[in-house]
Amino acid sequence: MNIKILGSGCKNCRKLEENVIEALKNMNIEATMEKVTDMKDIMSYNILSTPALVVDGKVLFSGQVPNAKKIQELLT
């Protein structure tokens, strides 16, 4: 599983990263995680707001910071 967190590195982006790590730990799943901060790269995903979560090339959501439980639901 390849996970990308799109965002500038703001507070919400860091919180999303923490929640993703927690969700993966709870599910006992290993994944490659990458932070994408370059605006050109972020815009290539056609999102309107950050942070955003991309899993295996598919945008799961943008503009929000769901908790770890919600992220687990999205990953299953």
Query: What amino acid positions are annotated as catalytic residues?
Result: 10, 13
Answer yes or no: are the C-beta atoms of 19 and 73 closer than 8 Å.
no
| Residue spans of beta strands (DSSP E) within the chain | 2-6, 32-36, 52-55, 58-62
